[in-house]
Amino acid sequence: MSSEKFINNNAALFTLIAASLVVFISLSVRQVFGMFFMDFNNDLGISNTEFGLAIGIQMLGWGLSGPIFGAIADKYGGHKAISIAFIFYILGVYFLYSGPNTGLYFQLSLGVLIGIGCGGTAISIPMSVVGKHFPLSNRTIAMSIVTAVGSFGYFLSPIFTNYSLGSNGWIETLFFFMIFLLFGFIIAFFVRSPSLNESTDQNIGQTTVEALKEAFQNKSYLLLISGFFVCGFHITLVGTHVPKYVIDRGLEDWTAAMILSLIGFFNIIGSLTSGYLSTKKSKKIILSCIYFLRGLSLCLFIFTPPSTITSIIFGASFGILWLSTVPATSGIVAHIFGTRYLGLLYGLVFLSHQIGSFFGAYLGGLFYDLYGSYDYAWYLAIALSVFAGLIHLPIKEKAIERTQAA
């Protein structure tokens, strides 16, 4: 087993590359909407609560559509699910760019359409397709590569967006995003699910309904769903509201772009490290450590005097922990149940993540409008870090009997 090749066939290689590029494009666009808030506020009259609600709806749309796209990918192929999702994504950015883009239409464009687009393009579906091409020994490493490439988009996108917003304005920047997403739509056709001969999983003869019933009767699966809620809350609270938070604390607006870029850069390290460690150590212990450390990073950020140095430390530390949860979480799902219905089952876990994302986006804006600060949102995020660190410990990382050969 130690001499087993990492890439066993061309289909696995092409899928890994294409899926990584899809996630790179999808997350690059998704990551930086928080940087548009001041423009939306000034030009469209969008309030903190309205913006937070739109991002929250986006997260719910992402999560609710994820299992649907996962089922499509499991049955008809990943390329079909991802390409359909890109159509929704492009339409959402187009209407935000061209109008109508205020009131209900703002929620429809930034919230519903882009959310559905993310559901089939960002992380869960491309990564689940990749997971089907790799055996258990290499699966989390392959998944971590997809996450790491997406993280590089996190690094580059805030830099480009900060420059483009200043030089070209928000409307022209959204036009560039549409072109970028169009390339993603083309690349999506190369994210192919494996054939029966190429698949690393055995044909278990299980229906979708049976797979769902089996999963929800498994306590470890339910604990994983509960813990991933916290990941979504953290990520969206930080990504959506840190840009305004640092300005409120007296720092320059470029500090927000720096934090988001540092998160993206160091997430490359965190994702690859998590993927590697997940092949050597207990995945649930890795996840518990990540959540506890997130709480510590948040404490240092909000309880120390604002400065460029503390911002750099926060961006780097939270970046290492940003999406490092994904390879371990998806790896546990694949290990317990096999890869036959990985798109659907991980999609449901990711739905919990997106429900957490909704509350992270919406409550951040709501607390700010009610109390004039983000303090209560940060306190809640720290408390949830402790909860998630504890909730992963009882998980049993054991494949059910029928998937022992997966």
pLDDT tens digit sequence for 314-339:
999 999 998 889 888 988 998 888 87
Give the H/E segment covering residue 199: none
Q: What is the CATH number of the domain that holds 115?
A: 1.20.1250.20
CA dist., res. 341 & res. 402, Å (int): 14
Quick one: DSSP state of residue 107?
I
For 33-97, where are the E strands, in sequence order?
none
Nearest to 203 by CA among 10, 4, 402, 68: 402
Residue 404: per-residue pLDDT: 44
Residue 406: per-residue pLDDT: 42
Residue 187: per-residue pLDDT: 96
CA dist., res. 321 & res. 283, Å (int): 14
Residue labelled with tokens 């392959």: 142
Nearest to 362 by CA among 114, 57, 101: 57
Token readout for 378 is 């940060």
**Does residue 277 lie within any of the structural domains?**
yes
CA dist., res. 311 & res. 234, Å (int): 17
Q: Which domain holds residue 378?
A: 11-403
Residue 97: per-residue pLDDT: 92
**Does residue 152 lie within any of the structural domains?**
yes
Residue 343: per-residue pLDDT: 79
Residue 3: per-residue pLDDT: 47
What does the mean pLDDT of the chain come to?
87
Residues 220 and 360: beta-carbon distance below 8 Å: no
Token readout for 185 is 């739509």
What does the pLDDT look like over 194-239, one tens digit per residue?
875 555 555 566 788 888 899 899 999 999 999 999 999 999 899 8
**Does residue 189 lie within any of the structural domains?**
yes
Residue labelled with tokens 């994504």: 89
CA dist., res. 335 & res. 399, Å (int): 6
Quick one: DSSP state of residue 376?
H
Residues 82 and 188: beta-carbon distance below 8 Å: yes
**Does residue 236 lie within any of the structural domains?**
yes
**Does residue 1 lie within any of the structural domains?**
no
**Does residue 317 lie within any of the structural domains?**
yes
Residue 405: per-residue pLDDT: 42
Token readout for 308 is 């460029």
**Does residue 2 lie within any of the structural domains?**
no
Number of domain units in the chain? 1
What does the pLDDT look like over 44-62, one tens digit per residue?
988 888 888 898 888 889 8
- Residue ranges, the chain, pLDDT below 70: 1-6, 196-205, 402-406
- pTM: predicted TM-score of the whole model, two decimal places: 0.78
**Does residue 5 lie within any of the structural domains?**
no
CA dist., res. 95 & res. 43, Å (int): 15
Q: Crossing angle of helices 136-167/124-133, nearest 10°?
A: 150
